[in-house]
Chain A
Amino acid sequence: MLFIDIGSTYTKLAVADLEDMRFIATASSPTTVWDVGEGFQKALGILQKQDVPSCLMEKRYASSSAAGGLKMISIGLVPSLTVEAAKMAALGAGAKVSCTFSFKMTRHQMDELIARQPDVVLLAGGTDGGDETTIIHNARMLAESPLASPVVMAGNSKTSDDVAAIFETAGKYLRVTENVMPEMNKLNIEPVREVIREIFIERIIAAKGLDKINAYIDGIALPTPLAVLEAVKTIRDVSGQDVVTIDIGGATTDVHSVAYGLPTDSKVVLKGLPEPFAKRTVEGDLGVRHNISSIVEGTGSDVFTGLIASCGYESDESRIHETLDRWSRQTECIASGGFEKCLDSQLAFCAAKIAAGRHAGSLEQIWAPDGKLLIQYGKDLTGVRTLIGTGGPLINNEEPEKVLKGAMFEEENPFLLKPKQPRCYMDKKYALFALGLFSTVDRAAAKSLAANYLKEMEVI
């Protein structure tokens, strides 16, 4: 079976032998934006040279990261409630959330929304039977605007008839689905995720010209980030243990956790909006090429220089700056030589550290009349036993386990609930997307494939 990932910098292919339940070959070639078929055929050529039997490549499934990602904007009512729920739903569907809006939108905000050219807009607000005025106001603003993107409504279900009528009158595309937050602090993101996936396949693929690939395959099934999340879910199923995945890229760093993350101590009180079992976060400011400066800033430039010095290189700031500047301008640059490789590793380490820190939950200590209280926000991932690394900068790194350390628990920061003693795994063949695609085709068989691949991925 042949799996294809198109639309990101590289078009990647992976072949699985379903007798053995193993990935037997992979290949990649730069994505050709003018006609994605070209890049695909080049990569296919590489596989053919490796003598991969063509009978294994007849059945073809594809995922796509939609040329720059599936850009979404989510709208809700209260920032910490339906806005956050809508954002989590969009991220869980594999989208990049470029910004969010809360309460009643103004014309100025609507202009900003349109200027950002979202692929899909997610409209939430109000629990079922809760607030109606805000979502109806925002629906009117969207319907009366020049916005052409599809809108998904996942807010107060009592308003769905009114919202549908507003869009129908305006002649605009709307899909209504279940509320992302039907009751206070109850998250319901699966229906939204499914609708976004359908819109992605029905509309976004063609809108970005990616449907040219249909000449070679039977169509695109999933957005790539969603495929990766599916793979992580399957691995969680097979291993029976909670999993965290960190995907470091040139432009973004994604973190997935498939874990309930409930408090490990009975004295800890869990607060805030519950988080999805399969949670994905995307850090758009943490790419190891496109936003080097925010990684260095987030780390602290003194600290960063110190990290380089700890690798045995002199803390020559001008040399560091010169190299980082060059990489920021020429984002396709690959590190060569000891110094550059060290710099590259430390960038990835810092990206992993910041991204995992934002993804993981935290503890807050407060003093109450009857003693110390610990409040937990988000997921407690300290007990996670499986940590998987993926993404070009990590896969091509010579010492990925050092980079993955960034995603782990820090003694000096014990209130940040990152994994304490996980085993490290690397997506060496760049095949997680393929495993995820296969999971949606045949879940039972995908488990055997996952079990075999997990053994291969282990970093010793």
Chain B
Amino acid sequence: MNKNIVIGVIGNDVHTIGKQLLSYAMRKEGYSVNDVGVSVSQDELINAAIETNASVIMIVSLYGHAELDCRGFRDKCIEAGIPGIKLYVGGNLVVGQQEWNDVEKRFLDMGFDRVAAPGTEISLALSWLKEDIG
């Protein structure tokens, strides 16, 4: 698998710092990071993945509405001809004090491969990448 990654902050969220830190760390590890920016739609992420032949789409969200923003994402990937692409999501995904295991399960059920809880170390994300795409 190639080392191309697409990353962006989804929905109406403009919090960019987490994404920037992740991108920096991934580039240092030799990944080709295609940053589509903040406040991006599902389509923008998928289009970027098609054009760059990405192995992973990494969705960043801080404002608590990721569940709504990510709904149907895997289906859209299948429709767009990239059914096997790895989908990562992380940040502050939901509002309120919710049990993390429930949250994680909901995202896994939506077709995500990796779900990162608030406060996840960047090193963990890098180890997932190593495992998934080398």
Assembly CA distance A256 to B53 (angstroms): 34
Residues of A within 8 A of B47 (CB): 78, 80-81
> How many angstroms between the C-alpha atoms of A322 and B40 in the bound complex?
49
> How many interface residues does chain A have, given as a range?
20 to 34
Give A73 to B32 CA distance when docked, in angstroms: 31
> Residue A184 contacts which of B2, B14, B34, B38 (CB distance < 8 angstroms)?
B34
Asked if B50 and A367 make an inter-chain contact with CB atoms under 8 angstroms apart, the answer reads no
What sequence of 0s and 1s flags, for each residue 151-188 of chain A, a beta carbon within 8 Å of any chain B beta carbon?
00000000000000000000000000000010111000
> With a CB–CB cut-off of 8 A, which chain B residues contact A368?
12-14, 63
- A132-B53, A369-B64, A370-B63 given; A184·B13 CB < 8 A: no
Residue from B2, B35, B36, B47 having most chain A Cβ neighbours under 10 A = B47
Chain A residues with Cβ under 8 A from B64's Cβ?
369
Contacts of B12 in A (CB 8 A): 366-369, 373
Determine whether A414 belongs to the interface, using a CB cutoff of 8 Å to chain B: no
* In the assembled complex, B48 has its CB within 8 A of some CB on chain A: yes
Contact B38 A369 (CB under 8 A): no
Residue of A nearest to B52 (CB): A130
Instruction: Please judge, given known A-B contacts A129-B4, A129-B32, A130-B4, whether A373 and B39 are in contact too, CB under 8 Å.
Output: yes
Interface centre among A82, A126, A184, A369 (most CB of B within 10 A): A184
Q: How large is the interface on B (under 10, 10 to 19, 20 to 34, 35 or more residues)?
A: 20 to 34
Across the interface, B51 reaches (CB within 8 A) one of A77, A367, A370, namely A77
Q: Is the CB of B34 within 8 A of A375?
A: no
Q: Is B37 on the interface with A (CB-CB < 8 A)?
A: yes
Does B52 lie within 8 Å of A269, measured CB to CB? Answer: no
Mask for A61-104, Cβ within 8 A of B = 1, else 0? 00000000000000001101110000000000000000000000
Q: Is the CB of A271 within 8 A of B37?
A: yes
Give the interface centre of B34, B35, B48, B51 by most chain A CB atoms within 10 Å.
B51
Q: Which of B27-63 contact A (CB under 8 A)?
A: 32, 34-40, 43-44, 47-48, 50-54, 63
B37: min CB distance to chain A, Å: 7
B52 contacts A131, C-beta separation under 8 Å: yes
Note all chain B residues with C-beta closer than 8 A to A269.
14, 37-39
Residues of chain A within 8 A (CB-CB) of B39 are 269, 271, 366, 373, 375
A81 touches B51 (CB 8 A): yes
Assess the A129–B2 pair: CB atoms within 8 A: yes
In the bound assembly, the distance between CA atoms of A51 and B2 in angstroms comes to: 70
Known: A271-B39, A370-B63. A131 touches B14 (CB 8 A): no
Instruction: Decide if A127 is an interface residue (CB 8 Å cutoff).
Output: yes
Q: How far is the CB of A94 from chain B (nearest CB, A)?
A: 26
Restricting to A304-345, which residues have a CB under 8 Å from any CB of B? Answer: none
Give complex CA distance A181, B47 in Å.
Answer: 13
Q: Report how far A367 CA is from B40 CA in the complex, Å.
A: 14
Residues on A lying within 8 angstroms of B by beta carbon are 77-78, 80-82, 125-127, 129-132, 181, 183-185, 269, 271, 366-370, 373, 375
Give 9 nearest A-B pairs by CB, closest first.
A184-B34, A130-B52, A368-B12, A131-B53, A78-B47, A130-B53, A127-B52, A81-B51, A78-B51
What are 23 A-B interface contacts by the 8 Å CB criterion?
A: A80-B43, A80-B44, A80-B47, A81-B48, A81-B51, A126-B51, A126-B53, A127-B52, A130-B4, A181-B51, A183-B34, A184-B51, A184-B52, A185-B37, A269-B14, A269-B37, A366-B12, A368-B12, A368-B14, A368-B63, A369-B63, A373-B39, A375-B39
